[in-house]
Structure 1
Amino acid sequence: MLIGEVARRSGVSARMLRHYESLGLVRPTGRTEGGYREYSGEDVRRVFHIESLRSLGLSLREVGSALDDPGFAPAELVGDLVRRTRERIAAETALLTRLRRIGAAEPAGWEDVLQAAALLRALGSKSAGTRQRAALASVAEEPVPVEALVEAALSETDPNVAGALRWALARSGDGGPALLAEGLGAPVAEVRKRAVRALAGIPGDGATALLRNALTDSDTAVRGCAALALGARGVADAVPALVDMVVEEVNDADAADALGALAGDPASADRIATGLAGRLADGGTGPSARRRLAQALADVPGAVAARALADLSHDEDRAVALTATYILKLRAAR
């Protein structure tokens, strides 16, 4: 079979067949009287084998080893091909994401495209300083698509950069909460906590509703972040979680401050006092927890809080009793 016929049957150009021959991958077994290459059936089968292996991503050098090396281990090469393919897919996916984000910014010209590309690249930099400057620039200069800011905020580990990203998100428009809602469903608790912190800086009912949902999160730190954020917004639904934080000594000082602020609303004051007093009635509450509860009651007005403090002033633990007595004197002097 001459080279032209092989090319038609295999789909491999005559030029590529000559290249294969120069590399020693497949050599025609004969020549015609006129000196033309003549391929045997076995030669043609080898051409098809070469193309099959190339379709898996093997280089021509790897193809030669696969076909000619008796000790060739296909499992190792296939594993390497899987790894390389995954890396290529990840790179292509990252490129596709970047292109979509640049398109979402609706650039008016190449200058806008270049600026958006530079900011997106900076957000993914290994340098924390570069990422922080990019987050700040996303507000001061050409805006970055909000989904890029959300992705960066959910993955950021540097506290300074994270703060800059949350600041940028709070000024990015209305799209942030819906995208951060996906972060609240992440399997990793740290990601969910970052989503809550980002939502805490975004005003509006949408963010508040999502923070309420986070109060039922399985992770204590996530619930605590949500409770503090809701307490700052004056949402009384956070009271039970804030009381738990006081008892469990998880950001208890911040939780007590939030309860004190919420207690400024008369409708919430009795609910807070009842919640704190209820934990005091729990026989399993130790002295240190009772002392923290007494301190939390200091800024809660009303008769319920006063009765709870009076009971604590007779506590069997001297430190608890002295704390409650001191708080009662301060309340009486107001």
Structure 2
Amino acid sequence: MARSSLLPEEVVPMTMTGPATGTGREADTVRVLRALEDDRSSVRLRAALALGTTPDPRCVDKLVERSAVEPEFFVRDMLTWALTRHPVSLTLPGLLREVRSERAQARSQALHTLSKIGDRRAWPALTPELLSDPDDEVARSAWRAAVILVPPGEEPALAALLATRLGHGGRRTRLSLSQALVALGDAGRAVLDAAAAAADPGPRTHALATLRLLRDPDTGFEEAVEEAKRVVALDGAPGAPAADDGNHADR
């Protein structure tokens, strides 16, 4: 039978050779798993595709392991997709171990995958320490996962914790935090209203920009930040009416 055009010659798709069980299938599995460590990203990508196309419980640990070290974004994303194709009962234990890893990429990628799986049994792993991780990529992944996995009724506590990070980090980090707080709806709005009256101009500016995004999701983040800076500069003192009345939208 002809080999798949998706994979290079040395990567045999598990659906195309060998019986469902036995040495043929096992040999295919070994070859595809070996391809996950190939020097060529295209080979690794196709191997991850094969492992998701034909889920195999024996491959879960290797998929999790490779996610922690894979340098290419598109390959990591395919590894995540492959993991979502396997039963949660098999993927969850390994991913929960990874969020406690000393390797930042392992934590970040495991959190990303957990957000895609969306099983709330992972919620207890979203600790305050993880949500305040010193690595920005890990923290951003934790925020995205948290707003998906948070149980009903826990949103205010989560929003309050996330609000402590207002004003910190670079543009991508601040944007991710704003998006997380907006996703929390009323709980996010409550902490943003409080932060908009803060004395510290950093958190206050970030909160005002996020409130603008909440009012008008089509607003660009940079535009919202610049508007917030003008509001803080013009108001002078926190708590002034202009801080959150939306009157600067067209300035």
Q: TM-score range with shorter-chain normalisation? A: 0.5 to 0.7
Identity among equivalent positions (%) equals: 22
Tell me if structure 2 keeps the 8 A contact 1:184–1:191: yes
1:194 aligned onto 2:90: no
Residue by residue over 1:229-278, the C-alpha shift from the partner in whole angstroms, topping out at 9 and shown as x without a partner, is 22244652431343244421452223223322321xxxxx2x43442244
Map 1:1-334 → 2, pairs under 5 A: 108-141=21-54, 143=56, 145-174=59-88, 175-212=90-127, 215-216=130-131, 218-221=133-136, 222-233=138-149, 236=155, 237-250=157-170, 251-263=173-185, 269=186, 271-283=187-199, 285-286=200-201, 289-298=203-212, 299=214, 317-318=233-234, 324=243, 327-328=246-247
8 Å contact from structure 1 (residues 291, 323) kept in 2:
no
Q: Is the 8 A contact 1:259 1:272 kept in 2?
A: yes
Between structure 1 and structure 2, the one with the greater Rg is 1
Hey, what's the Cα distance between the residues in 1 that align with 2:232 and 2:65?
52
Specify the code of the residue in structure 2 equivalent to 1:291. Answer: T
Say which structure, 1 or 2, has more relative contact order (CA 8 Å, 6+ apart): 2
Paired letter, 2:179: D
Question: Are the structure 2 counterparts of residues 171 and 323 from structure 1 closer, same or farther at C-alpha, using a change threshold of 3 Å?
Answer: farther
Q: Give the direction of change, closer, same or farther, for the CA distance of 1:119–1:293 in structure 2 (3 Å limit).
A: same
SS at match of 1:247: coil
The 3 A distance-change label for structure 1 pair 295 and 140 is same
Residues 266-311 of structure 1: CA deviation (Å, up to 9, x unaligned): xxx2x4344224434543x22x5423211222327xxxxxxxxxxx
Shift of 1:161: 0.5
Match of 2:126, SS state, is helix
Secondary structure of residue in 1 paired with 2:101? coil
| Structure 1: gaps of 5 or more residues | 1-105, 264-268, 301-311
What amino acid is aligned across from residue 160 of structure 2 in structure 1? P
One-letter amino acid of the structure 2 residue matched with residue 110 of structure 1 = T
Residues 181/217 of structure 1: CA separation in 2 closer, same or farther (3 Å cut) = farther
- Kindly indicate whether the alpha-carbon contact (under 8 Å) linking 2:147 and 2:180 is maintained by their aligned counterparts in 1: yes
Which residue does the alignment assign to 2:13? none
Structure 1 CA distance for aligned equivalents of residues 22 and 209 of structure 2: 60
- Report the Cα offset of residue 119 of structure 1: 0.8
Q: CA deviation at 1:329?
A: 7.0
Aligned residue pairs, count: 206
Per-residue CA deviations over 1:1-53 (Å, capped at 9, x if unaligned) read xxxxxxxxxxxxxxxxxxxxxxxxxxxxxxxxxxxxxxxxxxxxxxxxxxxxx
**What amino acid is the match of 1:150?**
V
Once residues 213 and 291 of structure 1 are traced to their aligned partners in structure 2, the CA distance between those partners, rounded to angstroms, is 24
**Comparing 273-282 and 288-297, the one that deviates more:** 273-282
Taking the aligned partners of 2:55 and 2:98, their CA distance within structure 1 comes to: 25
Cα offset, 1:319, TM superposition: 8.5
Letter in 1 for 2:120: D
Deviation at 1:212, TM superposition (A): 4.7
Distance in structure 2 (CA, Å) of the matches to 1:323 and 1:163: 43
- Secondary structure of 2:43's counterpart equals helix
* Larger helix fraction of residues: 1
Query: Against the structure 1 CA distance between its residues 142 and 192, is the aligned structure 2 distance closer, same or farther, given a 3 Å change threshold?
Result: closer
Aligned CA RMSD, in angstroms, stands at 3.4
Distance 2:161 2:211 in 1: 16
Structure 2 residues not aligned, in runs of 5+: 1-18, 216-227
* Cα offset, 1:147, TM superposition: 0.7
Change (3 A) 1:209 1:257: same
TM-score under structure 2 length normalisation: 0.68
Instruction: Give a deviation string over 1:84-115, Cα, whole Å, max 9, x none.
Output: xxxxxxxxxxxxxxxxxxxxxx9612210121
